[in-house]
Chains A and B, each alone.
Chain A
Amino acid sequence: MDETVAEYIRRTVLKIPRCQIMEMLTMWEFLSKTQLQTINVHQLKERISQAVVELCEVITSIVNDQIVSNSHNFVFTISGIFSCITGEETDSFNLADFKYKFKRSLRSALKNVTINFREYEDNAIWIRIAWGTQYTKPNQYKATYVVYHSQTPYVFISSLRSSIPLLCQALVHASNYHDIHEMELRSRCIDSLKDIVFKRYSQTFQTYHPRPLQERNVAPEKVDPRIIQENKREKERIQSVNQEIFGEGLQPKIEFAQYKLETMFKGEPEMDILTEKEPFRCVVKFSSPHLLEALKSLAPAGMADAPLSPLLTCIPQKARNYFKIKERKGILSASCLGP
Chain B
Amino acid sequence: MSLVRPFDKLPTLNSAAILLVGTDESQQQQLAEAILKEKKNFKINIHVATSLPLPAERDHIRPRIDLIAFMINMQSKHSLRNVEASLSHMDANFFLGKVCFLITGVGRMNHCSVEMNAVRKLGNLYCSPVLFCELDSEGIRVATAQRLLRMLQICAGHMPGVSALFFSSLMKSSIDE
Contact = CB atoms under 8 A, between A and B. Distances in A.
Interface of A: 224, 226-231, 233-235, 301-305
Given A230-B54, A302-B23, A224 B36 contact: yes
Nearest to A224: B36
A131 B24 CA distance: 53
A226 to B, nearest CB: 6
Interface string B43-58: 1111111110011001
Contacts of A302: 22-25, 50, 78-79
Contacts of B26: 301
B33 A230 contact: no
B88 interface: no
A231 to B, nearest CB: 5
Contact of A230 (B36, B43, B48): B48
Interface in B68-112: 76, 78-79
Nearest to B48: A229
A304 B78 contact: yes
A305 B36 CA distance: 30
Nearest to B57: A233
A234 B43 CA distance: 28
Contacts of B25: 235, 301-302
B14 interface: no
A231 B49 contact: yes
Given A233-B55, A303-B78, A228 B47 contact: yes
A230 B25 CA distance: 12
10 contacts: A226-B36, A228-B48, A230-B19, A233-B55, A234-B50, A234-B55, A235-B50, A302-B22, A302-B24, A302-B50
Given A302-B24, A302-B50, A230 B32 contact: no
| Cβ-closest 10 pairs across A and B | A302-B23, A230-B49, A231-B50, A227-B32, A227-B46, A228-B47, A302-B24, A230-B54, A231-B49, A229-B48
Contacts of B22: 302
B78 A226 contact: no
A226 B35 CA distance: 11
Interface string B4-39: 000000000000000100111110010011001000
A231 B51 contact: yes
Helix, strand, loop or mixed for chain B's interface? mixed
B45 A226 contact: yes
A229 B51 CA distance: 11
A227 B58 CA distance: 14
A237 to B, nearest CB: 11
Contacts of A227: 29, 32-33, 36, 46, 48
A301 B58 CA distance: 24
Contacts of A305: 78
Contact of A301 (B24, B33, B51, B55): B24
Contacts of B44: 226
Contacts of A304: 78
Contacts of A224: 32-33, 36
B125 to A, nearest CB: 22
Of the candidates A226, A233, A235, the one having the most CB atoms from chain B within 10 angstroms of its own CB is A226
A301 B25 CA distance: 7
Contacts of B24: 301-302
Given A230-B19, A301-B25, 13 more contacts: A224-B33, A226-B45, A227-B29, A227-B32, A227-B36, A228-B48, A229-B48, A231-B54, A235-B50, A301-B24, A301-B26, A302-B50, A303-B76
Contacts of A230: 19, 47-49, 54-55, 58
Given A226-B45, A231-B55, A303 B23 contact: yes
Contacts of A231: 49-51, 54-55
A234 to B, nearest CB: 6
A228 B36 CA distance: 12
Contacts of A303: 23, 76, 78
Contacts of B55: 230-231, 233-234
A22 B79 CA distance: 51
A231 B21 CA distance: 10
A304 B23 CA distance: 9
A60 B78 CA distance: 65
B66 to A, nearest CB: 14
B76 to A, nearest CB: 6
A108 B167 CA distance: 85
A301 B36 CA distance: 23
B109 to A, nearest CB: 19
A13 B35 CA distance: 57
A230 B22 CA distance: 12
Nearest to A305: B78
